[in-house]
Structure 1
Amino acid sequence: MTWEIALVILVVIIMLYFLIREISRPEFVIFCALAFLLLTGILSPTDALRGFSNEGMLTVAFLFIVAGAVQQSGLIGQIVMKSLGSGKNTRKALVRMMFPVSALSGFLNNTPIVVLFTPIIRKWCRDNNISPSKFLLPLSYATIFGGTITLIGTSTNLLVHGMMIEQGMKGFSMFQLGMVGIPACIAGLVYMGTIGYRLLPSRKTSEESFSESTREYLSEALVLKDSPIIGKTVEEAGLRHLEGLYLIEIIRNGHRIAPVQTDRTLWEGDRLIFTGLVSTIVDLQRIKGLKIETGIELKLDDLHNGNAFLVEAVVSHQSSIINQTVKESSFRGKYGAGVIAVHRNQERINSKVGDILFKPGDTLLLLAGKQFMKRWLNSGDFYLISPVPQPERTDPKKGTLSIIVLLIMVILATFEILSMFKAAVLAVITLFITKAITFEAAKKHIHFNVLIMIASAIGIGIAIDKTGTAAWIATSFIHITKSLGVVGMLACVYLITTFFTEIITNNAAAVLMFPISQAIALQTGADPTAFFVTITIAASASFATPIGYQTNLIVYGPGGYRFSDYLKVGIPLNLLYMFITVTTVAFLWL
């Protein structure tokens, strides 16, 4: 062992320690390790920076933009909401939810999918009196299943693909990983619909587990003259399966119609009473011919040009508007804000917004001007005034265009008309030219922390390879496992990779194992593709801990999970994925 090998191993061990203990952010830890190897002369500046020009890393960056454009369409949420159904059969609803999510995650980034669906599924669970712990962990797992189907399913796939190209190899084709990923995904869905479902806890989360954004508001929308939904039924107008919204009542000529049947025809002047989340209430403006009354000159469109913003205000016990309606309190003139919706704890309000008598503790969703916060923040009329995150503007036409661009990109890469990198570049250029996404919006969708982590990790992988560390570890590994044969070595590589994934990050695990698995393949004479596919699947298949994969962590709090829940459900799933991966890879490549 040379001093260079010893130093690289020491740096990697310290890096792993910092990652496991979560002393700092993963991208910062890995970047510091790269910088140390550069400063000590282990890496030249050229080698240290190779990761920042790596084709796989840059492809990930462009795909963030493509996924962001598709996400803005709002079409994805509608697909999953329809798939959930009524909730009468929980197990069937679980499988119906997981199937489309797995399919979507094969082409879109996993994290925004889970972020988008977590509040929607949680609300659906509450409405159907189902514990969200039965659905949220499967949501995360479904995105992991789908991520192993295609080249663009996860950043890990593209990272290994990019490193293969760096080594002068061809890299993965679009669906090459799917030869292992599809059988594994099907097995995972079957497992979650049977054994996994039984192992999932049926645990009600505490009220604190629900973020403020899940408050159910009551709001009112007016059917305008010449609206395209006039004469249509509620079902035909698309008002029955709205994402996170429920039409509870229609007020027509002063008469209330409730409950609202799906075959009820809509008339001009109908006032539609909805309950829903903050973001979905605001999304009502997307429906042509519907108008949310704000009562002031500001309109919801002003949210997007900076002239207005949403705030939540809690009515205090000494407020001057208690037991008064919006009109009686002269709310518009007094506060310069319009009441869009009202939420009342543990009580469903059966009234249109304008007729609601304010009570202490009511939370008002307001459309206000720029000076509202300054003027009324310390007012005795409200206990709390807080800004609401601005909802993203959605455009179904641009969303459809984004999906078409995504499909064309996949076709170009699948039939190798263009490389994955070039297809992604072309897709992004097309989205910019057609204004399906703006430069400002694109920047918001790029996860720069992921890109820095990938680029830095590639540099560390180069150091492991160039110093002979990978060859030294491979020789030791082969000496210990030679009695197991190549298939046994493959299983050991899978176990080591998945162990690293569960305690650090998927990308770091893949980069650490890439040069080692390549050296093992060269020394045993095996096809290196077998080992590269194995580490790619193993690095993505993180089921046993909440820290191994970002989506597992996202659902940890909202689902009310404990660390032991992940171990109980995830370890059998990890073993299932290992068995399918090793046997399939051995059959196809060894």
Structure 2
Amino acid sequence: MILPGFHAASAMLIALAMFYGFFNGKLRVEIVSLLTIAAIALLLYVMPMPGETKYAGLELAFQGFGHYALVTICALMIMGRGLVVTGALDPAARALARVWQFNKSLGLLFTLVVCLFMSMLINDTPVLVLMIPILAQMATRGGMPASKTLMPVNAAILIGGMSTTIGTSTNLLVVSIAQDLGMRTLSVFHFTPIVLISVLVALPYLWLVMPRLLPDNTKQVSVESRRFLAKLRLSDDAPMRGKTIEEARGNLPEDVRAWLPPGNRSHVGRRLLAEGTYKGLQEAARTLSATLAPRWLTERIKADSTRSREDLMVAEMILAPDCRLIGLTPSTAGFEGVAMLGIHHVHQPLRDTRAHTPDTAMAEGDVLLMMGMPEDLRAFAQAEGLLQIEGGEEITRSGKALLAVAIMLGSVGLASFGLVPIAISALAGAILMFVTGCVRFERVGRALSAKIIVLVASSIALGRFILVSGAAEWLGQILSSGLQYLPPAGVLAAIMVFVTLMTNFASNTAAAAVGTPIAFNIAKQLGMPEEPLVLAVLFGCNLCYATPVAYQTNMMILTEGDYTFKDYLRSGVPLVLIMVAALSTTLVFWYGI
């Protein structure tokens, strides 16, 4: 057997070091990625490739930062952020909640299908971020335990992301590397039918079997959300004006309790008192055409936000012992520049004689739910002696929700019909998100992930180094010598399993960088078309269900579901095997090989 050359061996050693760094976890992903780029740059500067100058190595090492695939990924993250901050995904969340209330089993099936299709066009992470509180809330209302639903839903999101070229950054990386190697350009939905056929096999497992393999960790993860007292101010044309309190209650979320203010004993007027979580009160206000703060104050704060181009935030604040507001009522406190949406009364045994209403005097330890611009909230807390709780939530700019959806659909549509490359349409969509105010340019840092940027850039550099150094050709010869005795479905399955192992124990982007050029060379060695083998790599990079470290969404549900490593293996390995068998078989029939 011919041994690899110096640069080919170095490329494989750097790839192994990168995998080990990801798997070991002692260094951050960003650090491992930057070290990979530095190692390639230093090696090729000190010992250039034959016929190349030392500066050619620097260009190879850093070309990922200017690669069109990275530009496309960043643009898609910006558009995904636009859908989140405008609340464009909220209607889907409300529809899911209604189905879950009707039937648990159908609710799970509907959720799996909706998430699968949403993640075709939207990055996996925001879709899961949207679903986690919904599934947790459904569990508290008597639905299936969150620990039995989070992992199947996460898997459905990953499968949906696998089905289009823009579904995940890894897909774009594989396709871009393959195009650099000479493969034709693939449209957005080029391989979607292949994945959807495989979904028909995997969906029954996700729906009926996977939840049974997972534990019920309800006691471990259930946390009671803080409940606030609030005053709902109904508009003049609100449909509930003049109705009975029973009729109004029938239109409220289950976790919101409402009653009439003192002196009003018959029908709903301009005010309605309520108690519930912030999410529940938000939904109640939307349903009743009401506001949680005086309408004039809300409109003024929103106008100031629009004028200053600052996002509005909702934050919780605790009344400290020296707080000026102690003993005052919300109506006499004289809030300026901020609005109180609700108040949580601290329990005071033996001496709490306050009325259960948002209009009563405030006491030490009470928690206020405040809305305003970040700087105004900080100034208010400091001036009044309040302790602002870490975190906070941005208020969605719902007036731009349809605009954000239109921009996303237009961008994807242009690329889907082949009118312009996805890199151009995605960049145009991101620019429109900025121009229209769906995403604030000064807040773009919240849309972009530095980890993904350096990870993709290092993967592009590593993939290129593996190719030009001859490492891909050498590995392709080694693998093809064993794969030549297998049928086409076996070859595709073997490549998929090889990449899947790298994905689940290292990084899917690194697996894409290594696997794509290897697949190209195996195709040449075996005389097979490149496209199905490249798709086998792409699919394998997305079969990341078996370990918590395989993908960032796996890590997000680890704490929420109180899962163990064994839970991922027990439920994820069968799904990997099902998808490998279904995808490899479908690829054979689809391409007629």
TM superposition score category, shorter chain reference: 0.7 to 0.9
Q: Which amino acid aligns with 1:270?
A: R
- Kept after mapping to 2: 8 A contact 1:234/1:240: no
Contact 1:432 1:438 in 2 (8 A): yes
* 1:279-331 deviation line (CA, Å, top 9, x unaligned): 67568887895332379978753677569965434467999988x68369x65
Deviation at 1:54, TM superposition (A): 2.2
For residues 248-267 of structure 1, what are the structure 2 equivalents within 5 Å? 248-251=257-260, 254-255=263-264
Matched residue, 2:235: 224
Match of 1:31 in 2: 34
The amino acid that maps onto 1:536 is L
* Number of equivalences: 565
Residue type matched to 2:184 in 1? K
Deviates more, 1:227-236 or 1:510-519: 227-236
The change in CA–CA distance for 1:370 and 1:461 in structure 2 (over 3 A counts) is closer
Please report how far the alpha carbon of residue 109 of structure 1 lies from its aligned counterpart in structure 2 after TM superposition.
0.6
- 498, 501, 523: which one pairs with 1:499? 501
Closer, same or farther in 2 for the Cα pair 1:422/1:352, shift >3 Å? Answer: same
Contact 1:224/1:268 (<8 A) preserved: no
Counterpart among 541, 544, 569 of residue 543 in structure 2: 541
2: CA distance, partners of 1:133 / 1:92:
17
Task: Give the letter for the 1:166 counterpart.
Answer: D
| Residue 153 (structure 2) pairs with residue 139 (structure 1) | yes
Q: CA–CA distance in 1 between the matches of 2:277 and 2:452?
A: 33
Q: Is the 8 A contact 1:109 1:153 kept in 2?
A: yes
**2-structure distance, mates of 1:82, 1:235:** 24
Percent identical: 24
Cα distance per residue 1:373-395 (max 9 Å; x no partner): 43565xxxx8x642442413322
Distance 1:297 1:148, change over 3 A: closer
Tell me, in whole angstroms, the C-alpha distance in 2 between the residues paired with 1:457 and 1:570.
25
Deviation (angstroms), 1:105: 0.5
Shift of 1:255: 4.0
Contact kept? 1:295, 1:339, Cα under 8 Å: no
Aligned counterparts of 1:215 and 1:316: Cα–Cα separation in 2: 18
Is the 8 Å Cα contact of residues 100 and 106 (structure 2) preserved in structure 1? no
- SS in structure 2 opposite 1:194? helix
How do 1:350-361 residues align onto structure 2 when only pairs under 5 Å count?
351-355=356-360
Residue 109 of structure 1 corresponds to 123
- 1:177 and 2:186 correspond: no
Moved more, 190-199 or 573-582: 190-199
Could you tell me which residue of structure 1 aligns to residue 9 of structure 2?
A: 6
- Equivalent residue runs for 1:85-104 within 5 Å: 85-87=99-101, 89-104=103-118
Whether the 8 Å contact between 2:234 and 2:288 is mirrored in structure 1 is no
Q: Distance in 2 between matches of 1:581 and 1:235?
A: 54
What's the CA shift for 1:350? 9.7
Q: Partner of 1:6: helix, strand, or coil?
A: helix
- Give the letter aligned to residue 454 of structure 1: V
1:425 is displaced (CA, Å) by 2.5
The answer to whether residue 525 in structure 2 is matched with residue 523 in structure 1 is: yes
Per-residue deviation at 1:466? 0.7
After alignment, is 229-238 or 499-508 more displaced?
Answer: 229-238
- Structure 2 residue 461 is matched with structure 1 residue 459: yes
**CA-CA distance at 1:268 after TM superposition:** 4.6
Q: Classify 1:432/1:338 alpha carbon distance in 2 versus 1 (closer, same or farther; 3 Å).
A: closer
Alignment partners' CA distance in 1, 2:17 and 2:244: 64
Q: Is the 8 A contact 2:75 2:427 kept in 1?
A: yes
Structure 1 residues 156-182: Cα deviation after superposition (integer angstroms, max 9, x where no partner): 111111112212322322212212211
CA contact (8 A) 2:256 2:281 kept: no
Q: Which amino acid aligns with 2:181?
A: Q
- The equivalences for 1:166-565 within 5 A come to 166-206=180-220, 210=223, 214-226=225-237, 240=251, 246-251=255-260, 254-255=263-264, 268-277=269-278, 281=281, 290-293=290-293, 301=302, 310-314=314-318, 326=329, 331-332=333-334, 339-343=340-344, 351-355=356-360, 362-366=366-370, 369-375=377-383, 385-396=388-399, 398-565=400-567
Q: Quick one: structure 1 residues 168 and 241, their matched pair in 2 at CA, closer, same or farther if it must change by over 3 Å?
A: farther
Residues 20 and 506 in structure 2, CA contact (< 8 A), matched pair in contact too: no
RMSD: 3.7
In 2, Cα distance between equivalents of 1:219 and 1:563: 43
* Secondary structure of residue in 2 paired with 1:271: strand
The 1:11/1:239 distance shift into structure 2, 3 A limit, reads farther
Q: Specify the code of the residue in structure 1 equivalent to 2:503.
A: T
CA distance in 2, matches of 1:449, 1:439: 20
Contact 1:205 1:559 in 2 (8 A): no
Aligned-partner SS, 1:135 = helix
Question: Structure 1 residues 435, 494: CA separation in 2 closer, same or farther (over 3 Å shift)?
Answer: same
What is aligned with 1:17? Answer: 20
Q: In structure 2, what is the Cα distance between the partners aligned to 1:143 and 1:501?
A: 17
8 Å contact from structure 1 (residues 412, 418) kept in 2: yes
Q: Distance in 2 between matches of 1:308 and 1:69?
A: 15
Deviates more, 1:571-580 or 1:190-199: 190-199
Which whole-Å CA distance do the structure 2 matches of 1:536 and 1:216 have between them?
46
Residue 436 of structure 1 deviates from its aligned partner by 3.3
Contact kept, 8 Å, 2:152 with 2:207, in 1: the verdict is no
Q: Structure 1 residue aligned with 2:71, among 33, 54, 58?
A: 58
Aligned AA for 1:59?
T
Structure 1 pair 467/236, CA: closer, same or farther in 2 (3 Å)? farther
Q: Deviations over 1:245-275 (max 9, x none)?
A: 8542142673468xxxxxxxx9551325252
The CA distance in 1 between the partners of 2:119 and 2:311, in whole Å, is: 36
Report the 3-state secondary structure (helix = DSSP H, G, I; strand = E; otherwise coil) of the residue aligned with 2:187.
coil
Residues 225, 192 of structure 1: alpha-carbon distance in 2 compared, 3 angstrom cutoff: same
**Which deviations, in whole Å up to 9, do the C-alpha atoms of 1:141-166 show, x marking residues without a partner?**
12112112222111111111111221
Change (3 A) 1:585 1:130: closer
Aligned residue for 2:419, secondary structure, equals: coil
Tell me, in whole angstroms, the C-alpha distance in 2 between the residues paired with 1:215 and 1:530: 52
In 2: Cα distance, 1:140 partner to 1:64 partner? 19
1:468 offset after TM fit, Å? Answer: 0.6
Stretch of structure 1 that moved more, 166-175 or 11-20: 166-175
Counterpart for residue 262 of structure 1: none
Shift of 1:444: 2.2
Distance of aligned partners of 1:216 and 1:100 in 2 relative to their CA distance in 1, 3 Å threshold: farther
Return 5+ residue gaps in structure 1 as ranges: 258-265
Question: 18-27 or 313-322: which moved more?
Answer: 313-322
1:308-360 deviations in Å (ceiling 9; x for gaps): 965434467999988x68369x6558x9986532346899x9943224x7677
The alpha-carbon distance between structure 1 residues 587 and 458, as it changes in their structure 2 partners (threshold 3 A), is same
Q: Distance in 2 between matches of 1:452 and 1:268?
A: 57
Output one character per residue of 1:36-80: Cα deviation in whole Å (capped at 9) or x when no partner.
111111562222233223222211111112212222232313313
Shift of the alpha carbon at 1:232?
9.1
Moved more, 290-299 or 577-586: 290-299
